[in-house]
Structures are given as structure tokens and as C-alpha cells.
Structure 1
Amino acid sequence: MIPKFDEWGVDERQFWLRGIEPAKAVDYDPETRMWHVYGHPEIVRLLSKPQVFSSNLQRLMAPEIGVDNPEEAYDELLYMDPPAHTRLRKLVSHAFTAKVVADLEPKIAALTHELLDEAGTSGRLELVSALAYPLPVIVICELLGIPAEDRDLFRKQAESLMPAASDDVQLVGRFEGQEELTKTVIKRHREFAEYLQQFIDDRRRQPREDLLSRLVQAEVEGERLSDKEVAGLVDTLLLAGHLNTTMMLSNTVLCLDAHPEEFRRTRQDRSRLPGVIEESLRYLPPFSVTSRVTVAETELGGVTIPPDQLVMVWLAPANRDPRVFEAPSEFRPERNPNPHLTFSRGIHFCIGAGLGRLEGRVALDVLLDRFPELATVPDDPPRFIRTAQMFNAHTVPLAVSA
């Protein structure tokens, strides 16, 4: 146990295989009727077989919604399988390119400075509310071309996605109440899509130099995105480009604070920042789990999983699989390679990974430039949101000096 983590009440066992080291790579829980996959090689194999391990959870959790009311089906990119997923991903890749992301670097730096200016120089900085939370949503709005006055609405929509990515998943073992829960999630997305429609209509009439225009205009083999698909992709970007980045920024600062020598070396040599971020993503991943449903009987990790089974895919434990990572309990920014699974693998590799990495590197670089001294406060420790699926710093008070 790292001393500072112990002081903060962080039990690192939550990132291991069900808190036990070692444990089965694939296991079944008869009480919840769920399968759990913890091993790194097993998860890599699982994520590479979408034809067997489906992302369409609705087919098992609330199938009557899609059958009886197909227009209400929850058809976001995250929950789609090929060939529909393949088509949508191709269209997105034509709009959300590496160059589009790279061109944001000066804007991200300027926004970081603006947010830190607004936070003041009182000697204290609450990292989450001052920077880690607002920065990603502002960047997403800038990227899409959403007016500044609507940023708060985007923030609220991002917050509404949080339960679907964490607590909701605890209900799906017994499927009790899952239909009603799915309807609530669909309602949230439909209302947000209605709000976005004005911007989609505007971009169809008069395209601009923003991502929303690129999504509207993107074309592959003569086919474009529907309005519903554009709205769904904006939701996906909010989840992938906002919540993940917020948690990554906070967790990376905490990892550095808990490892003073690594902090000192990184401050002196900023070329280490990408490695620090990757190791933070491995060491304290924002989201611990994703889910799949088996389409057919399959073998994984030496056991047979029947069809129509809910499979919990535990990314955080896989990131500490000793078969893949040497000294997995140690924070080692120099790991190379570092094949962590925090951004998933295969066809559902996180679409916002590049943007999140860029925001993390730029924002951390600015933080280190502006504050020669930056450390957690002993009498005001970080506070965390903890669920089985998520590890998130709610507040990170820092003592800083300019």
C-alpha cells in the first residue's frame, strides 16, 4: 500500500482481481447470473470477437423495447455491432481525424490558462472544479461549434451519462427494473437529440469549420449519417471525451503526488508526460468495467460460456495482470510497451482516446509551468466517488505557489 493512498482511504485491492491476487481469469457468479472476465489475454481475445461477444446489451436487458418500438432502440456507437458499427465508425473517422484533434493543442493550452486565471492565486486550487471538470466539456463544445452559453447544458448531459456508465450496470445481473431504466436513458438521449436538432439543421444548410459540420457532411460510399446518428455520436463524444478526461487528469495528478520522485523527474523533463499519463491510465483507470452479451456458446479462459449471458469485462484488474505487466502494483511511467486496456481494444477502442491524451498532456504541462509547487493538502485530502465500476476523484484540493 502506498502511504498517501492509505492516507486518502484508497484501497488498491479494488483494482485487482476481485480484491484477491491471484484469482480466476474467468469466473461465474450464480447469485447475479453474470460472468466475470479479469485476465488481460482473455479480455483481449473477447474484445476481438464482436461476432460472439455483442455490445448490444439491450437485446438481453430490455429486448421488448427494440422489438416493439424500434425507433426507441438505444443505437449509439458504444452499443452497436458490425455491420452497423462498421459503417458508423467509418463515417466518424472521416470527420474526427487525428489532424482535427492535433489542431486543438493551442486552444487547449489557452483554455487551461483561462480556467486557472479564473481560479485565482490564493495558494489553493481545487483541481476538479477549477480545471479537470470544465476543461473537457469546453473543448468538446469548441470542437463541435456549440455556443459558449450552452456549455452548461452539455455539462448536465455529460453528468446524466455517468449513472449509465457506473451504477446502472449493477442492476443488470437480475434484470429487475432494467426495462424502466433503459427507457429513462433513452428519454435522456432523445431530449438531448431534440436540442441538437437546431444545430444539425443549421450545419446541413450552412456547414462551418467545426466537427458537427464534418459529422453532418461526412460521406462514405455515398452514404451520410442520419440526424439521430449524429446526435448519438455527440453523446458518445461527451462520454469518451469528457468524463474519461476529467477523471484521467485528476488521477494522474494524484499518482504523481503519491510518487514524489516521479513527480520531480516529470517536472524537470516534460517529455515524460505521455508515459506518466499512460501509466496513470493503467494504474488508476477511470472506468473499471465494460459489458458484453454472448451471442453463441463460446470458450474463454478454459471455460464454456453459454449464449445469452451477460459478461462483465473488468479492465482495471486486467491492467494489473502479472502475466502481462512486470511489478503491476508499481507505478512505472517508463513502461514500454504499456498495453493497458483502459481505452478498450478492437472495434470499440475509445474514439476520444487521442483527444483525452492531448488534453491531459497540455493541461498537465501548463499546471507544472504555472505552479513550481503543487501538492495535496494533508488536512484536506482528496475525496472520491467509488463504485465497483468507477474510481473518480470528486475533489482534489491542492496547495500551489506561483
Structure 2
Amino acid sequence: MQNDTYFSSLAWYRHMREHAPVTYSEQHQQWMVFRYDDVKRVLSDYETFSSEVESEGHTLTPMDVSLVALDPPCHRHLRALVTQAFTPRTVTQATARIEQLVKDLLEKHMGRGEMDIIDDLAYPLTVTIIAEILGVPVSDQERFRHWSDLLAGVTPFDGSDFTGEMSVYFSRLLDERRREPREDLISSLLAAQVGGEHLSTLELLGFCILLLVAGNVTTTHLLGNAFLCFDEFPRLLEVLARDGTLLPGAIEEVLRYRSPLRFMFRVAKKDTHLGGQSIHAGQWISAYIASANHDEAVFSHPERFDITRTPNPNLSFGHGVHYCLGAPLARLETRIVLEVMLRRFSSIQRRPGSMLEPLDPQGFMQGAKHFPIVFTESRAVHPRSLHAGMNRRSFKSGEEREMQSPKA
């Protein structure tokens, strides 16, 4: 994956924000939305832009009743039940386990001095943590990856009934936990209730499938995209190694600059107007999060990578009632990975000569399929304070440097 592919996307987004911020695609039979305020409205105004599919003549699947596919009041009821089990305490308690697992995964590759960020670290970390939280066998992680990549559109559909396979798999686990509850999220979900009501079996299946997918795919590519940024801005690793307090801001800037999600779908529930266009009930809308995160009207110098950007209201985890429930876990896992690696290694870089293959450019995820690195183990702990004059860190993208050069 070459930077010109990514930068050409940024150039296209910029053109669309300026000339066709809300436009209808005859090819895809849907509206495409590019400006921040419009994208934010599409993501949050559920009374106009719905996450629900039409159920008439359609047999509901677990994903049709998952959090991402429901609007209030059903969404509010389901989220209230789920948050009883998937609490901030659940996430916080995973901190020590995440750090130990990161260390164990890195240790496997210390002798070689190289590894793949996606295949050897990000994916096994995220799928193991979410499997342990849910209470599913980590030994099935290759099956989880296959299902997750298909459901998230990371790999092309292979014709298999993978949603049916997932339903059968989790139905068996639910039956086991009903008979013998354990200290895991599936057992907690079975016990959770609001006003005497429990989650239905279909709702339980939907949440388990959603969490398995969202709990590993998004974070996997958030980590991969962080290293894409490090590859573009090599000085960034040195800055973060000197001052770990900059890490949260750096992660937010990765989310903005290279959002794992390119866009999200909604369907119009009623006739409405957006960006000067008339949208009719029943029409589909793609809200381009990756474009909104680069909107000049909201982000000063949007093509500049600034780890001290404040505020940074990126939309990478959504907005409003559908804001991602797993966002705290994704941020925690990413922060711990970077903290451990920056302590452990004195140098990290993409393996020389390696070519990066992008995810499907038509899919809703963006990033690299693989990211091979080489590293040198550190012999001393990096200082944790920033040198004088290094308190402000912003970096120009390759495209911005090109635009601002004398020859541009």
C-alpha cells in the first residue's frame, strides 16, 4: 500500500467536501455524505437516519437486532442491559492481562528482530482479550478471524454461511452457560435484566457476534494505522518514547488522521433535506467518517498530523446513541501496546523493501492487511520527560508537504 493511494483518497474527500458534499451515486444507489456536520447528523439523528433494516419479508438475523442495527427505544433498552455486563470496571480489570499478553506476544519474536504488527501482535492480542472477556475458547481464534474479516468486509465474501456458523457456535455456548454460569461476559449477559426483562436469545447472539467482530477488527486496524502514521512520520516514535503522556493524544490523532472506519451506512426513515439535497424515505446513505475527520471547517490544518490537537472531536467511534461501546477497550489496548513497545525497543521501522497491501478500497474498513516491522531491543529505559522545545508536535503529511513546497 503506497501513500499515494491514501493521499488520493484525501484529495477526493477534499474535492467532494468543496464541490459535492452530499451527492447521489447512481452506481451504488445511495447518497454519499462528506462534510463533518452532515456526517455527524447522519450518525446521530436516528429519527431521520435509521440504523434499522426493513423487517417486512425478511427473517431477522442476530446482527439485525445488535446494537449497531437498532434505534431507540429498542436500542436504549438493549444498551441498558448490555452495559450492566460490559462495564468500565470490566475493561479496567483487563489492564494487567493486556500488558502481560503484549509482552508474551513480543517475546516470541525477540530473537528474530522482526514481526508483523497485524498478524503477530494486533490480531492475536485483540481476539484473545475479547474471547477471554466473553468466555469463548481462545483456541478457536483462527475461526474468529475468518468470521470477523468476512463480516467486516476485510476479506471478500467466500460464499459460506458464516453468520449461520457463528449463530450455531454461540448458541451452544449460551446453552452451556445457562446450565453452568461462569465468571465471564456471556454469563453476565444472560443474568442482566431491566424491569424484569432479559435479553432474548437473538439479542444475545447479536451482541456476542458484534463484540467478537468489533472487539478485534477495529482495534487491530487502529494499531495497524498507528504504525502507518509512524512510518510516515518517523520522528513521532522518538517523541512518544520521550514522553508517554502524549500517547492518548497521539491515539486520538491516529483515529482522526487514519480512521479504521471509512464510512457507515444509514437509511432515511422519512423525506428530509441535507446539504441542499432532497433525500427520500427508504434511500441509503453512506456517511464518510474518514472525510469528516479531515474537514477544514472543524480541524485546523487537517492534513497535518498533530498529536497535541485540542479539541479533537473525531467521529471514528461514531456519535450519539450509537457511539461505540467498545471504544474504551480499543483505546486501552492500543495505549498499552505502544507503551510496552516504546519501553522495549530502541528502534522500530517498517521492514525495508516491504510493500503494504491495502484493505479493500471499496470496503468500510481502511488500513493495511499486513505490516512487517524490524526492531532493535532497548538496553536502557527511555527518559519519560520531554526535552525543552519539544512540547508541541505536529507533522505535515506527505501530501501537505508536497502542496506547500516551492514547486507546488
TM-score by length of 2: 0.86
CA distance in structure 1 between the aligned counterparts of 2:155 and 2:90, rounded to whole angstroms: 30
With over 3 angstroms needed to count, the CA separation of the structure-2 counterparts of 1:153 and 1:393, relative to structure 1, is same
In the other structure, the counterpart of 1:256 is: 230
Amino acid at match of 1:15: L
SS in 1 for 2:318: coil
CA distance in structure 2 between the aligned counterparts of 1:393 and 1:377, rounded to whole angstroms: 14
TM-score by length of 1: 0.87
Which of 210, 221, 233 is the matching residue for 1:247? 221
* The 10-residue stretch of structure 1 (209-218 or 330-339) with the greater mean CA deviation from structure 2: 209-218
Which whole-Å deviations, capped at 9, do the CAs of 1:323-381 have from their partners, x for residues lacking one? 00000001001111101111111111112111110000001111111211111133124
Amino acid at match of 2:9: Q
SS in 1 for 2:152: helix
Q: 1:385·1:391 contact (CA, 8 Å) conserved in 2? A: yes
With over 3 angstroms needed to count, the CA separation of the structure-2 counterparts of 1:138 and 1:280, relative to structure 1, is same
In the other structure, the counterpart of 1:178 is: none
Which whole-Å deviations, capped at 9, do the CAs of 1:112-139 have from their partners, x for residues lacking one? 1111122342122221111012111011
In the other structure, the counterpart of 1:376 is: 350
1:68-147 pair list within 5 angstroms: 69-70=59-60, 74-147=64-137
Deviation of 1:154 (Å): 2.1
Q: 2:116·2:370 contact (CA, 8 Å) conserved in 1? A: yes
- Number of residue pairs the alignment of both structures matches: 375
Q: 2:62·2:167 contact (CA, 8 Å) conserved in 1? A: no
CA distance in structure 1 between the aligned counterparts of 2:63 and 2:334, rounded to whole angstroms: 34
* The 10-residue stretch of structure 1 (193-202 or 284-293) with the greater mean CA deviation from structure 2: 193-202
CA distance in structure 2 between the aligned counterparts of 1:73 and 1:315, rounded to whole angstroms: 22
In the other structure, the counterpart of 1:237 is: 211
SS in 2 for 1:88: helix
CA distance in structure 2 between the aligned counterparts of 1:335 and 1:361, rounded to whole angstroms: 17
With over 3 angstroms needed to count, the CA separation of the structure-2 counterparts of 1:23 and 1:104, relative to structure 1, is farther
Which of 24, 32, 50 is the matching residue for 1:54? 50
In the other structure, the counterpart of 1:24 is: 20
In the other structure, the counterpart of 1:391 is: 366
Identical residues among aligned pairs (%): 34
CA distance in structure 2 between the aligned counterparts of 1:17 and 1:41, rounded to whole angstroms: 18
SS in 1 for 2:267: strand
With over 3 angstroms needed to count, the CA separation of the structure-2 counterparts of 1:147 and 1:42, relative to structure 1, is same
CA distance in structure 2 between the aligned counterparts of 1:16 and 1:80, rounded to whole angstroms: 34
1:37 partnered with 2:38? no
With over 3 angstroms needed to count, the CA separation of the structure-2 counterparts of 1:247 and 1:209, relative to structure 1, is same
- Of Structure 1 and Structure 2, the greater helix share is in 1
Deviation of 1:188 (Å): 2.5
In the other structure, the counterpart of 2:392 is: none
In the other structure, the counterpart of 1:13 is: 8
Deviation of 1:71 (Å): 6.9
SS in 1 for 2:304: coil
Which of 173, 196, 200 is the matching residue for 2:174? 200
CA distance in structure 2 between the aligned counterparts of 1:265 and 1:70, rounded to whole angstroms: 50
CA distance in structure 2 between the aligned counterparts of 1:250 and 1:289, rounded to whole angstroms: 18
CA distance in structure 1 between the aligned counterparts of 2:225 and 2:191, rounded to whole angstroms: 37
CA distance in structure 2 between the aligned counterparts of 1:261 and 1:46, rounded to whole angstroms: 37
CA distance in structure 2 between the aligned counterparts of 1:250 and 1:71, rounded to whole angstroms: 31
CA distance in structure 1 between the aligned counterparts of 2:21 and 2:121, rounded to whole angstroms: 38
Which of 289, 302, 327 is the matching residue for 2:263? 289
In the other structure, the counterpart of 1:176 is: none
SS in 2 for 1:331: strand
Q: 1:166·1:387 contact (CA, 8 Å) conserved in 2? A: no
Deviation of 1:298 (Å): 0.9
Q: 2:152·2:365 contact (CA, 8 Å) conserved in 1? A: no
Structure 1, unmatched stretches of 5+, are 169-180
CA distance in structure 1 between the aligned counterparts of 2:278 and 2:3, rounded to whole angstroms: 41
Structure 2, unmatched stretches of 5+, are 378-408
Which whole-Å deviations, capped at 9, do the CAs of 1:188-229 have from their partners, x for residues lacking one? 323212211232122223322211111111111111112221
1:346 partnered with 2:336? no
1:216-235 pair list within 5 angstroms: 216-235=190-209
* The 10-residue stretch of structure 1 (354-363 or 370-379) with the greater mean CA deviation from structure 2: 370-379
Amino acid at match of 2:370: T
CA distance in structure 2 between the aligned counterparts of 1:161 and 1:32, rounded to whole angstroms: 20
With over 3 angstroms needed to count, the CA separation of the structure-2 counterparts of 1:306 and 1:107, relative to structure 1, is same
* The 10-residue stretch of structure 1 (194-203 or 35-44) with the greater mean CA deviation from structure 2: 194-203
Q: 2:49·2:269 contact (CA, 8 Å) conserved in 1? A: yes
With over 3 angstroms needed to count, the CA separation of the structure-2 counterparts of 1:75 and 1:16, relative to structure 1, is farther
CA distance in structure 1 between the aligned counterparts of 2:291 and 2:83, rounded to whole angstroms: 30
SS in 1 for 2:367: strand
CA distance in structure 1 between the aligned counterparts of 2:90 and 2:29, rounded to whole angstroms: 44
In the other structure, the counterpart of 1:272 is: 246
* The 10-residue stretch of structure 1 (118-127 or 230-239) with the greater mean CA deviation from structure 2: 118-127
Deviation of 1:93 (Å): 1.0
Q: 1:16·1:320 contact (CA, 8 Å) conserved in 2? A: no
Amino acid at match of 1:81: D
Which whole-Å deviations, capped at 9, do the CAs of 1:263-310 have from their partners, x for residues lacking one? 211111111111111100111111201111111111222322111111
Deviation of 1:36 (Å): 1.0
Amino acid at match of 2:253: E
CA distance in structure 1 between the aligned counterparts of 2:60 and 2:257, rounded to whole angstroms: 40
SS in 1 for 2:28: coil
